[in-house]
Amino acid sequence: MATPGITQEELSLIKSYLLLLFIQKVFERDLRIMQESGVFKSPELYTELITNGDMQASMLLSEVKREFKTSQIKVFRIDQDEHGVEAEYVCRGYTGEMDILWSAIRNEMLVRMRAYLGLTPVSQLLGSVSHQHSVQTH
């Protein structure tokens, strides 16, 4: 059930914020591993691709943070467990909680990361799209 007084757009902003934080962590981790591994013959090609994806995510995260200020949103706690991510937020004085299952996070992260890297969307590769709605708000 959604928190009274919070719009769907504001909930989407909070979800995007959480996803972008995790995407940046993944890009930065992958970039570090790639640079340190010594396995690639031409790592600069791959690191450039990931760096560009990370920059795209960073730019979008900055936009979300600007929207947070405009909408008076603040995420003040993010917890992770074996089931997923739980975040507490305040929006214009209303306090709420958002729970997202890991399966939903992974699926959406992959879709977004492909876009940030300039890759073909999975839906085009598979020929169909299946959406999983695993976000709960309180």
Q: Among 32-36, 79-83, 93-97, 131-135, where is mean pLDDT lowest? A: 131-135
Name the pTM for this structure: 0.84
Q: What percent of the chain has pLDDT over 70?
A: 86
Contacts of 63 (CB under 8 A, 6+ apart): none
Mean predicted confidence (pLDDT) in 14-34: 97
Please choose, from the candidates 35, 15, 34, the residue with its C-alpha nearest in 3D space to the C-alpha of residue 89.
Answer: 15
Mean predicted confidence (pLDDT) in 50-58: 97
pLDDT in the model for residue 41: 87
Q: Torsion-angle region of residue 45: left (phi > 0), alpha (psi -120 to 50) or beta?
A: alpha
pLDDT in the model for residue 3: 67
pLDDT tens per residue across span 87-137: 999 999 999 999 999 999 999 999 999 999 999 876 665 554 444 445 666
Q: What is the DSSP string of 59-104?
A: HHHHHHHHHHHHHTEEEEEEEE-SSEEEEEEEETTEEEEEEEEHHH
Residue with tokens 């960073």: 58
